[in-house]
Amino acid sequence: MKSNSKVLILTAKYGNGHVQVAKTLENQCKKLGFEKVIVCNLYSESFPVFSEITQYLYLKSFSIGKQFYRLFYYGVDKIYNKRMMNLYFKMGHKRLHQIVTSEQPDMIINTFPMIVVPEYRRKTGTIIPTFNVLTDFCLHRIWVHENIDKYYVASNHVKEKLIQLGIHPSTVKVTGIPIRTQFEEEINTREIYQKYELDPTKKTLLIMAGAHGVLKNVKELCQSFISKSDEIQIVVVCGNNTILKESLDSLATNYPNQFKVLSYVERIDELYRIASCMITKPGGITLTEATALGVPVVLFKPVPGQEKENAHFFEDNHAAIIVNQIEDITDKVHQLLSDEKKLTDMKVNIKKLHVPHSADLIVNDMIKEAAYIKDKHMMAGSVNY
């Protein structure tokens, strides 16, 4: 593909993972010299009010709306070919047409399952190489469409699911999920311990508490960990949750050698590198980051949908522990941290799930595929490329 090529990356902010993947791919495209990289949150730009409402409902699905989200995630398969899906097929069509007309991208990347793109191609005959980058370790049927040229997936497990749905094996490539390049770097962990004022002789429990729906009663849980053993140091990352951070500040003051509480951490990979294990939610990006650095994960009460499916995949591969009852989590984590063999086995198992340099693999393969598709249609005399 020529250096003056343009790429359109479509994403959506239902959770942060789709946007993170889009950003990582954007950076890789720029690194490879694309003339222009357009990143578009298509639904927000097309229907801002509707998008805000549905994003709010999505966040609520991690707390009060679990049954609603279960119905949506597992029930959409049953209505996939029915009339009510037509609205989803059409969402964003007008805005997509504007971008395609004005920018004339050489290829389109979806980091969110937007059926409007292949449907646009089906209806207009406009052939723009279109690729889906799946952002979880499971497959939902809504990613699948006859006018997707290639799928980039996290694992052989997802590839097998696509093949079962009739997708040709040659159009599915196992590349892992793109994550920030900082997770591929080699760093001296001694400097990390010094930076965060942590003891390298102690086990470190990392709790990612800022993300929606990870844990309730975080303060009580941390107090339980502290009282259980002074041989473990706990680091809680609250992200942008200032209320949670303030509620934990007193613990950090009272137990400075056992407990650290942090707000948003830009270089979160540093904490992954020194974590003996991590309590987190089973989002596709977080789990991929854990595979890159070999961090055993404890997954608390995964919500129905992709996160539950992700959790079971990691548990089946002996890379994670799922805990469904809050009263069990302290004992389960302490048992794990006391079992050196299990910790080591989990580290090995989770690293086996990692595919390094995913963004590089994906974009380079897309360039080859796009060139092949263009040549094929030019030879066929297509006038709509």
What letter represents residue 76's amino acid?
V
pTM above 0.75, yes or no: yes
Q: How confident is the model at residue 383 (pLDDT cuts 50, 70, 90)?
A: very low
Tell me what the mean pLDDT of segment 151-175 comes to.
97
b or e along 293-309 (b: 16 or more beta carbons within 10 Å of the residue's beta carbon)? bbbbbbbbbbbbbbbbb
Domain boundaries, the chain: 6-176+356-379, 182-352
Q: How far apart are CA 74 and CA 343, in angstroms?
A: 33
- CATH fourth-level superfamily of 182-352: Glycogen Phosphorylase B; (3.40.50.2000)
Strand partners, 37: 7
Q: Kindly report, residue by residue over 121-162, the tens digit of the pLDDT.
A: 888 888 899 999 999 999 988 899 889 999 999 999 999 999
User: What class is the 6-176+356-379 domain?
Assistant: alpha beta
Quick check: 213 pLDDT over 60? no
Q: Kindly report, residue by residue over 237-263, the tens digit of the pLDDT.
A: 998 888 899 999 999 999 999 999 999
Mean pLDDT, the chain, rounded, equals: 85
Q: Kindly report, residue by residue over 48-88, the tens digit of the pLDDT.
A: 545 455 555 555 555 555 554 455 555 555 555 554 455 55
